[in-house]
Amino acid sequence: MSSVFILIIFLFLHSFTSQDKFQKERESMVKNQIENRGIKDKSVLNAMRKVLRHEMVPSNVVNRAYTDGPLPIGYGQTISQPYIVAFMTEATNPKPEHKVLEIGTGSGYQAAVLAEIAKEVYTIEIVNELYKSADKKLNELGYKNIFCKAADGYYGWEEHAPFDAIVVTAAAEHIPPPLVEQLKDGGKMIIPVGAPFLNQNLILVEKKGEEVTTRSLLPVRFVPFTREK
């Protein structure tokens, strides 16, 4: 009986100290990797401080959750580098009243960051297993404003369009026209465009009335945007 009690105390203290460790790592990630590289939007910095990245990566890489790079999440996919998540979020300028679409749920991390700022986040993942695990994890973490589905994100999510912002987290060879179509007047989309595994650029797409403008912001490397067979 008493050894069970000691074990409970041990587990309690252990989880407490590791939470504390991750909080420190998260603070230093935001300061060194994100603020120091020029991300200024307070709502983005707060969201990056809040989301438990270590809860969203596979257990074999938990200790590297807050390091300055992408990490494998299985099925040949990756969770993006924290700085890139912050950069893409800031580029679309999300606001509390916004409805956002994300293509490429992956771990669910980018969706969670967006959901800390925007009203609703709709996110689409093409790999069914990743959709299932992200949906489960986001529910466990208590996100009530994220809606997941398994599909080819090329076609967007018409029932919920138009969106104030669209964040695409897989590299496409061209900008999918349905996504431009589903962007609100005045809305912004950020998308990596380029050949698979070669150099790609983050492109900011802005829609103003009939006019659609594109601007290249940053060279990046993302996993490919795949298509349903």
What are the residue numbers of the active site? 80
Query: Where are any strands of DSSP class E within the chain?
Result: 71-74, 77-79, 99-103, 120-125, 146-150, 163-168, 183-194, 200-208, 211-220
Answer yes or no whether residue 171 interacts with ligand SAH by CB under 6 A: no
Q: How far is the CB of 81 from ligand SAH (least distance, A)?
A: 10
Report strand pairing: 99-103 vs 120-125. Answer: parallel
Of 17 and 46, nearer to ligand SAH (C-beta) is: 46
Tokens 């587990």 -> residue = 11
Of positions 109, 147, 157, 163, contacts ligand SAH by CB under 6 A? 109
Q: How far is the CB of 212 from ligand SAH (least distance, A)?
A: 21
Q: How far is the CB of 30 from ligand SAH (least distance, A)?
A: 16
Alpha-carbon distance of 32 to 27, in angstroms, equals 9
Of 133 and 204, nearer to ligand SAH (C-beta) is: 133
Answer yes or no whether residue 48 interacts with ligand SAH by CB under 6 A: no
Of positions 30, 54, 78, 182, contacts ligand SAH by CB under 6 A? 78
Answer yes or no whether residue 124 interacts with ligand SAH by CB under 6 A: yes
State which amino acid sits at residue 117: I
Residue in the shown chain whose Cβ atom is closest to ligand SAH: 106
In total, the chain counts a number of residues equal to 229
CB 216 within 8 A of CB 201: yes
Alpha-carbon distance of 215 to 218, in angstroms, equals 10
Of 20 and 158, nearer to ligand SAH (C-beta) is: 158
Interface size with ligand SAH, residues (CB under 6 A)? 24
